[in-house]
Amino acid sequence: MVTGQTPGDRSRPGPHIGHNACRFQPHPTDFTHEVRVVIDPEKRDIGALFPKGNRDHPRSEPSLPQPAPRRFMKRIALHGLAVVALAATTLAIWHWRFVAVPGALPETRLAKPLVGWQSLPYQQHQVINDQGEALLRLQRDNPQDKSPSVGIWLGALEGVRFIHIRCESRWENVVRGDHGWNIARFVVALKDAEGGIRHPQDSVIFHGTGTSGWRADEVILELTGEMADTGLFISMLGKTGLLEVRNLSVVAVKQRPWIPLAATALVLGWIAFCTSLLRRPSAKPAWWRATAAATMVVGVSWILVFPQTRNLHRSSLGGFAIGALPAPPPPAKAPPQPKPGIKPTPKPPAHPPPSVAVKPPTPPAPPAAKPTPEPVRRQSGTTHNFIRESSKRFRLLHIGTYAGFTFLILLITGQGRQWPLPLAVAILSELVPAILDHIGDWDDWTDLFQNTAGVALAVLAWQLWQRIRAKRTRPQSCPTRA
Please report whether residue 43 resides in a domain: yes
pTM of the model: 0.73
Please report whether residue 107 resides in a domain: no
| Contact (Cβ atoms closer than 8 angstroms) between residue 439 and residue 186 | no
Residue 260 DSSP class: H
**Per-residue pLDDT at 222 exceeds 60:** yes
Question: How do residues 7-38 score in pLDDT, each as one tens digit?
Answer: 444 444 444 444 444 444 555 544 444 545 55
Question: How do residues 315-361 score in pLDDT, each as one tens digit?
Answer: 877 789 998 765 655 555 555 665 555 555 666 655 555 555 555 66
Q: Among the three residues 255, 275, 303, which one is the final residue of a domain in this structure?
A: 255
Please report whether residue 73 resides in a domain: no
Range name among 94-98, 103-107, 199-203, 261-265 with the lowest pLDDT average? 199-203
Residue 197 Ramachandran class (φ > 0 left, ψ -120 to 50 alpha, else beta): beta
- 187/268 same-domain check: no
- 173/311 same-domain check: no
Question: How do residues 407-435 score in pLDDT, each as one tens digit?
Answer: 999 999 999 999 999 999 999 998 888 88
- 426/300 same-domain check: yes
- 400/459 same-domain check: yes
The enclosing domain of 127 has a CATH number of: 2.60.120.260
Please report whether residue 301 resides in a domain: yes
Please report whether residue 135 resides in a domain: yes
Domains of the chain: total = 3
The set of residues, in sequence order, having a beta carbon less than 8 Å from that of 224 and lying 6+ positions away, is: 200, 311, 378, 379, 380, 381, 384
- 302/385 same-domain check: yes
The dihedral through the CA atoms of 63, 67, 73, 78 has a sign that is: positive
Please report whether residue 111 resides in a domain: no
- 280/414 same-domain check: yes
- 47/127 same-domain check: no
**Per-residue pLDDT at 207 exceeds 60:** yes
The set of residues, in sequence order, having a beta carbon less than 8 Å from that of 185 and lying 6+ positions away, is: 204, 205, 206, 207, 208, 234, 235, 237
- 142/291 same-domain check: no
94-103, 301-310, 443-452: range with highest mean pLDDT: 94-103
Q: Which CA distances in Å does 193 have to 181, 230, 235, 256?
A: 26, 12, 25, 30
- 250/271 same-domain check: no
Structural domain for 421, as ranges = 259-317+381-471
| Contact (Cβ atoms closer than 8 angstroms) between residue 412 and residue 289 | yes
- 395/441 same-domain check: yes
Question: How do residues 354-405 score in pLDDT, each as one tens digit?
Answer: 555 555 666 666 655 555 556 677 777 777 677 777 777 777 889 999 999 9
